[in-house]
Amino acid sequence: MTVPNLVDGRTVIVTGASRGIGQATARAMLISGANVVVNAREENAALEETTALLREIDETRFEVSLGDITDPDYAPVMAALAKERFGSIDVLVNNAGIIRDQALGFMQEADWDAVMNTNLKGAFLCCKAVSRQMVAQRSGRIINVSSITALSGRPGQTNYGAAKAGLIGFTKSLARELAPKNVLVNALAVGVIDTRMTKQIPRDTLREIKSMVPMNRVGHPDEVANACLFLASDLSSYITGSTLNVSGGGYI
pLDDT tens per residue, range 86-97: 999 999 999 999
Question: Around Cβ 44, how many Cβ atoms within 10 Å?
Answer: 11
Stretch 11-40: mean pLDDT:
98
Looking at residue 38, its pLDDT comes to: 99
Task: Let me know if residue 139 belongs to a domain.
Answer: yes
Task: Give the type of residue at 106.
Answer: F
CB 248 within 8 A of CB 213: yes
Q: What are the tens digits of pLDDT across the range 164-202?
A: 999 999 999 999 999 999 999 999 999 999 988 777 778
Active site residue 251: no
For residue 56, the tally of other CB atoms under 10 A from its CB is 10
On whether residue 33 sits in a domain, the answer given is yes
Helix (H) or strand (E) holding 37: strand 35-40
Residues forming a β-bridge with 141: 91, 184
Domain annotation covers residue 252: no
Q: The domain containing residue 60 runs over which residues?
A: 11-246
Beta strands 140-147; 91-94: pairing state: parallel
Alpha carbon distance 197, 200 (integer Å): 5
- Single-letter residue type at 54: L
Nearest-CA neighbor of 159 among 94, 210, 212, 108?
108
Does 2 map to a domain? no
**What's the structural domain count of the chain?**
1
What pLDDT does residue 209 have? 79
| pLDDT beyond 70 at 1 | no
Give me the mean pLDDT over the 216-221 stretch: 93
Contact criterion met (CB below 8 Å) for 247 and 198: no
What per-residue confidence (pLDDT) applies to 63? 98
- Does 251 reside within a domain? no
Q: Give Dmax (Cα) for the chain.
A: 50
CB 107 within 8 A of CB 159: yes
Q: For the domain that residue 41 is a member of, what is the CATH number?
A: 3.40.50.720
